[in-house]
Structure 1
Amino acid sequence: MRGTRIRFHETGDPQAPPVLLLHGIGRSLEDWLPQHELLGDYRVISMDMPGFGLSQRMPETTTLPVLADGVWATLDALGETRPVHLMGNSLGGAVSMEMLSSAPERVSTLTLVNSAGFGKEVTMALRMLAVPGLGRQMLRRIDRWTAPRVERNLFAERAMVTPERIAMAIKIARQPDFAPVYLEVARALGGFRGVGAAWRADLLQRVSAHVKPTMIIWGDRDMILPCAHLAAARAAFPHARSHMFARTGHMPQIERPKEFADLVRPVLAEVSV
């Protein structure tokens, strides 16, 4: 993709309507793997966004528009130019909204999962990344001792913190683009006092001009972006369906995979591609 190596995973019938799955900050396509099988009658595409997971970064400083542009370019490289069903978790939700704003004709539906963009409150760990020098030091310390603690913050069920997830987190943290891209995005979107207000207001204003079938999902035990943000998300998308999962953390799509797929299917069915 424009000279940048992007890791992706694709399943299903290439002729079926496309579903695109986007992960959160510092994460990878593994956060969506169960949905590939559960949404198997669609063309399901997940990817490591530029600079995250095992993908290379874009040459410019990483921002929401740069990530959105990189995702669109990856779809173009895969030959997928039809309107897509966008699903984004955390940062991936904000990127999905940016994609909708920049190319509404290429979006069929929007599913936001514990999405960034609806409040200033965010875990202290992300706020500390804005402290000069401290952020890079923190990111360099993701190892077999610290990675389990990071993973535990993502889930309500401790059983979700598997050796495989811990190993993947360490592998990602060792990628050369990991720390620089993580810090660029974290600082572009907020600081020590929390998620910035200006970009959130601008993005939601731009997205409001493009009404699409929308589902908003949250976990009630999210320790990264609190579930209270769901009220702001409902206000920003008054036409949307919404659901709060009980006893669920930051990633309902893998902590409650079957229930998640059952929720989003009616929204996908509203649009025939």
Structure 2
Amino acid sequence: MADGIPPIDLTAKPPPGRHVELGTRWGPMRVHLRETPGPSPRAATAVHLHGLAGSSTNWTDLAGLLAGQLRSIALDLPGFGRSEPPPGFGFTRQANADVVISVLEQLDAAPVHLSGNSFGAAVAIEVAALRPDLIASLTLISPAMPDLRLDPRRLSDPRIAVAMLPVLGARTRRGLAAVTPAARAEQLVRLCFAEPDVVPSHRLAEAAAEFEECSRLPWSGPALGRTTTELIRSWLVPPARSLWRRLPEIAAPSLVVWGSEDRVVTVRKAPRTATLLPRGRLLVLPRTGHVAQMERPRVVARALLGLVQADSWW
């Protein structure tokens, strides 16, 4: 524990969740979150945002490692986990950012150390640019920067591409819906981890159980489809509206973490991402895929705490 980080407990269960009630421009909404206490009630707060097909449980190990110094709150973004989206919700990164900002305001814990993975990192960029007063530091883990490569290795199931088509898609979507939760969990692990065989069997079982739960929620499948569609649309907008333009607007000290073996969003985007952040630093992790906070939680925890503590960097 020389670095202030406790030994990792890979058997730890996700912390129990609770809902917070929000008034949004779409009407009332209940956002589900999971809290890992810090060393004291006065501890600074870290807030974590998951990626597509993810949830607040994606941060269990990292939050546990941060607990000696930070309180952690992991959100289920609208339509994911146990957060039901309100009627008319737009599923864009901007709409998600509005919800996150409302949560941060209600928590009354600002400024927070905000982190996000993949689509959650894109949302975090939007939050940090819009409300610098709420953000003490920003950690982006394989952020979903515009990446239009046509590569079947980016899909957990190659049939997903066909499922998007208007005529052939219906039958394919029925086939995808028939994939068991256990098989879906294994597909995603093999897509997102560089070394999927090191994932403990109980973590796979937890992921399968969560997919089983979400399959019974009527909003889950449509929300994933809509959020994915809106993300791809955001990659096609004119340069003036691109996510790249948001990065220079961020005032907070920032850390970009990327896995060298990320198949979902190429690590070649990492240097540009870090360079455009006015106070950005870059950490590329070898033998690591798209979800470094899950695959290399101890390394990410050390880097995030270094960002929090390293005032001398700036």
- One-letter code aligned to 2:265: L
Query: Alpha-carbon deviations, 1:120-169, whole Å to 9, x = none?
Result: 33724565564334585466344233432222211122232622223223
Aligned to 2:229: 187
**In structure 2, C-alpha distance between the alignment counterparts of 1:54 and 1:199, rounded to whole Å:** 35
- % identity of equivalent residues: 28
Aligned to 1:4: 29
State the Cα distance separating 1:34 from its structure 2 match: 1.0
* Equivalence map 1:54-93=2 (5 Å): 54-59=82-87, 60-80=89-109, 82-93=110-121
State the Cα distance separating 1:172 from its structure 2 match: 2.6
- One-letter code aligned to 2:177: R
Tell me the TM-score normalized by structure 2: 0.77
Q: Is 1:117–1:200's contact at 8 Å kept on the other side of the alignment?
A: no
Structure 1 pair 118–131 and aligned structure 2 pair: CA distance change class (3 A): same
State the Cα distance separating 1:270 from its structure 2 match: 4.1
User: Which of 151, 156, 172 is the aligned partner of 2:189?
Assistant: 151
* 2:291 is the counterpart of 1:251: yes
State the Cα distance separating 1:197 from its structure 2 match: 4.9
* 2:289 is the counterpart of 1:260: no
State the Cα distance separating 1:203 from its structure 2 match: 2.9
Aligned to 2:281: 241
**In structure 1, C-alpha distance between the alignment counterparts of 2:282 and 2:254, rounded to whole Å:** 8
Q: Is 1:29–1:48's contact at 8 Å kept on the other side of the alignment?
A: yes
Aligned to 1:163: 205
Computed over aligned residues only, the root mean square deviation of the Cα atoms, in angstroms, reads: 2.6
SS of alignment partner, residue 232 of structure 1: helix
- Based on CA coordinates, which of the two structures has the bigger radius of gyration? 2
Q: Is 1:151–1:166's contact at 8 Å kept on the other side of the alignment?
A: no
State the Cα distance separating 1:175 from its structure 2 match: 2.1
- One-letter code aligned to 1:110: L
Stretches of structure 1 lacking an aligned partner (at least 5 in a row): none
Q: Is 1:139–1:179's contact at 8 Å kept on the other side of the alignment?
A: no
Larger deviation, residues 89-98 vs 218-227: 218-227
State the Cα distance separating 1:254 from its structure 2 match: 1.5
User: Which of 214, 217, 224 is the aligned partner of 2:257?
Assistant: 217
Q: Is 2:136–2:253's contact at 8 Å kept on the other side of the alignment?
A: yes
* 2:218 is the counterpart of 1:176: yes
Tell me the TM-score normalized by structure 1: 0.87
Q: Is 1:118–1:200's contact at 8 Å kept on the other side of the alignment?
A: no
User: Which of 111, 114, 128 is the aligned partner of 1:100?
Assistant: 128
Higher normalized contact order (CA 8 Å, seq sep 6+, divided by chain length): 1
Stretches of structure 2 lacking an aligned partner (at least 5 in a row): 1-20, 23-27
